[in-house]
Structure 1
Amino acid sequence: MRRGAQLALAAALGLGVIGAAQAADYKAEYKISTVIGQPFPWGESAVKWADLVRERTNGRINMKMYPGAQLVAGDQTKEFTAIRQGIIDMAVGSTINWSPQIPELNLFSLPFLMPDHKSIDALTQGPVGKKLFEVIASKDVVPLAWGENGFRELSNSKQPVRTPADMKGLKIRVVGSPLFLDTFTALGANPTQMSWADAQPAFATKAVDGQENPVSIFVAAKLPNVGQNNLTLWGYMADPLIFVVNKRVWESFSPEDQKIVREAAIEAGKFGIDMGRKGISGNDMSVIDGIKASGVEVVTLTPEQRKQFVDATRDVYTKWKPRIGPELVDMAEKSIKGN
């Protein structure tokens, strides 16, 4: 064998040994935390991420979804802290649930900031999204891609909601966020914080009147079966999802595997976004039509009706803007206006 060929073979063998050694240092399983599993778009996108990574790394990196925030005993607001601490390896997390630790993420919960899906994209795929990734990266967590849980729509078992007056006294389940409490209090409702696991039995017993969640959850959770027969499409806020990896876990991966994990997250994020928007926007309203066919009364706000809700929550918007960061909110408003 010629010397050049020998050197090439030795180099190839050496790289193989290094690669095998590095793979041997990887965990047998990496835990992905999510609040919601399959068949919801949230869970489906996490599974898609795991499948793509496993396939493209030839099994070097095995990721498994743990839904229901079970890695933090069901307390979804503690998820981000657990990622920082290394208790959780990876997550597809909600901007709402992580906002207690990252105040800037309350941006997406500002009432009636984003009028449509184009507005969400203008934020996540523009300078706002870049800035938020910088904030997350400063906290020992590596953000990779955006996903989406969707616009949160309002349902209840009492009556159709077309104006803020229709919400007076309604007991509405909300997530554990002070901004949500402020918003629903301003609208005259009685916001009640509880986990999603506790919420569904509460709907069935009429202990709680209603909830706000994306249409995909309304359908997959079969909420009409627990009395949620009035649905208002008001798009008052949206909940982007973020694919992240604990910093120490990320740094343990080879550059090649980092590239694979990042690209797979981006692909899985787009997959989940498409899945969540299908049938509820544009020319395809098949999901909404199906909800109507099941006997649910669906209200779509007119521009005039929507303005009443905007006006009713304007003080909440003003109160929270400095808490989130005036510059960030201004940047978001500019991005939406220019899309």
Structure 2
Amino acid sequence: MKSASRITPIAAFLAGAAVLTASFTAQARELSVSTVLSDAFPWGQAAEKWAELVEERSGGDLTLRVYPNSQLVNGDQTREFSAMRSGLIDMAVGSTINWSPQVPELNLFSLPFFMPDEAAVDAVTGGAAGGMVFEAIESRGVIPLAWGENGFRQLSNSRGPIDEPGDLDGLKIRVVGSPLFQDTFTALGADPTQMSWTDAQPALTTGAVDGQENPLSVFDVARIDQVGQEYLTLWNYMNDPLIFAVNERVWETLSEEERDILRETAIEAGEWEVAMTREQESERLAAIQERGVKVTELTEEQHRAFVNATQSVHDKWIPRVGQELVDTAREAIEAR
């Protein structure tokens, strides 16, 4: 009996330790994060940075597993928001363009030539208009946490220099699955062709499409010049902010501490990625030019011609985006 009484406290301790270990194991949680691009690009690096910071701050109790190349939606990047909203995806670092079919307010950033520079983008995302956009996203079952940046989108093609709207007449330009993009390039006289990025590169290689539009980071890393895109026009016609977000139902299952970690690390990763993307712009442009790409920079007069040619797009789309939101954004831009 004495021997048994000596064993009992040890057994109790071991049992308690086992329960404690099981408790910690149960607390550890992995969430899926969708991105369109891999970590070869700043976009994918933003998601990886977020995952790194979350694991570090949570001590490994909360981890993010990044799924690049839109693999959770079979390569269809425009389905990402719907998949996150329904719970098929826990979280995402996504594009305002790709999410705009489900959140019309996000078309604010795709209005052609609406945001002239990075200061304008910051004024919008960091001000009242940015708050209104976040409210619109949250009203659709997704919690936005922070901003990132895919950058200003530039135009490339295989036919020749483009410095006036007439140069686009009849050119087949690959665009993402957004009706606003269709309207913009139609207004410019082009033949917009909708396709995913997965399908775009083969189409450019074969000449099925003549051109495309993307940020310099994508043009550089994807070596778009190697698929016949020898001419690049810097026209800054729209900027594509990224958004760090989480499914609302997933968010509700998290503790306050976990929510704080996710939000704080998203903001930190976003600020890191925005700074990196912008710092690399001049270096990327130099590298692109060194590879023989002919770069056209528009004069103020040439730029104005494109603005005038796309005014009808504003007339059609501002009511869809929301007049109040557009006015609030315009005030922030003018006051920057």
* TM-score past 0.5 threshold: yes
Q: Is the partner of 1:159 in helix, strand or coil? A: coil
Number of the residue aligned with 2:209:
208
Q: RMSD of the TM alignment (CA)?
A: 1.8
1:330 aligns with 2:324: no
For 1:209 and 1:275, the matched residues in 2 are separated by 30
For 2:153 and 2:323, the matched residues in 1 are separated by 24
Pairs aligned (count): 320
1:303 aligns with 2:316: no
Q: How far is 1:29 from its partner?
A: 2.1
Number of the residue aligned with 2:186:
185
Q: 1:332 to 1:23 in 2, by over 3 A?
A: farther
Number of the residue aligned with 1:66:
67
Identity %, equivalent residues:
58
Q: 1:314 to 1:18 in 2, by over 3 A?
A: farther
For 2:185 and 2:155, the matched residues in 1 are separated by 11
Number of the residue aligned with 1:134:
135
Q: 1:26 to 1:320 in 2, by over 3 A?
A: farther
Number of the residue aligned with 1:3:
none
Q: 1:20 to 1:219 in 2, by over 3 A?
A: same
Number of the residue aligned with 1:13:
none
The runs of 5 or more residues in structure 2 that have no matched partner are 1-16
Q: How far is 1:256 from its partner?
A: 1.3
Number of the residue aligned with 1:235:
236
Q: Is the partner of 1:64 in helix, strand or coil? A: strand
Greater Cα offset, 46-55 or 129-138: 129-138
For 2:249 and 2:63, the matched residues in 1 are separated by 17
Q: What residue identity is the alignment partner of 2:306?
A: F
For 2:335 and 2:19, the matched residues in 1 are separated by 49
Check the 8 A contact 1:26/1:252 in 2, yes or no: no
1:317 aligns with 2:318: no
Q: What residue identity is the alignment partner of 1:84?
A: R
Number of the residue aligned with 1:115:
116
The one-character-per-residue Cα deviations of 1:255-304 (angstroms, maximum 9, x if unpaired) are 11211111110011111111211232xxxx23212211111001111111
Q: What residue identity is the alignment partner of 1:36?
A: L
For 1:293 and 1:104, the matched residues in 2 are separated by 39
For 2:328 and 2:26, the matched residues in 1 are separated by 43
The one-character-per-residue Cα deviations of 1:16-71 (angstroms, maximum 9, x if unpaired) are 99998886555642110011111101000000000000011011111111111111
Number of the residue aligned with 1:154:
155
The runs of 5 or more residues in structure 1 that have no matched partner are 1-15
Q: 1:23 to 1:143 in 2, by over 3 A?
A: farther
Number of the residue aligned with 2:284:
287
Q: What residue identity is the alignment partner of 1:244?
A: A
User: What TM-score does the superposition give when structure 2 sets the normalisation length?
Assistant: 0.92
The one-character-per-residue Cα deviations of 1:90-149 (angstroms, maximum 9, x if unpaired) are 000111111111100000000000000111101101101111111111222111000011
Q: What residue identity is the alignment partner of 1:277?
A: R
Q: 1:320 to 1:334 in 2, by over 3 A?
A: same
Aligned positions of 1:95-110 closer than 5 A? 95-110=96-111
Greater Rg over alpha carbons, structure: 2
Q: Is the partner of 1:93 in helix, strand or coil? A: strand
Q: What residue identity is the alignment partner of 2:108?
A: L
For 1:184 and 1:314, the matched residues in 2 are separated by 12
Q: What residue identity is the alignment partner of 1:335?
A: A
Q: Is the partner of 1:29 in helix, strand or coil? A: strand
The one-character-per-residue Cα deviations of 1:196-234 (angstroms, maximum 9, x if unpaired) are 011101111111111000000000000111111101000
Q: How far is 1:74 from its partner?
A: 1.4
Number of the residue aligned with 2:5:
none
Q: 1:134 to 1:22 in 2, by over 3 A?
A: farther
Q: What residue identity is the alignment partner of 1:269?
A: G
Number of the residue aligned with 1:175:
176
Q: What residue identity is the alignment partner of 2:326?
A: V
Runs of 4+ in 1 over 3 A off after TM superposition: 16-28
Check the 8 A contact 2:28/2:60 in 1, yes or no: no
For 1:214 and 1:118, the matched residues in 2 are separated by 17
Check the 8 A contact 1:41/1:216 in 2, yes or no: yes
Number of the residue aligned with 2:221:
220
Aligned positions of 1:26-37 closer than 5 A? 26=27, 28-37=29-38
The one-character-per-residue Cα deviations of 1:59-91 (angstroms, maximum 9, x if unpaired) are 111111111111111111111111111110000
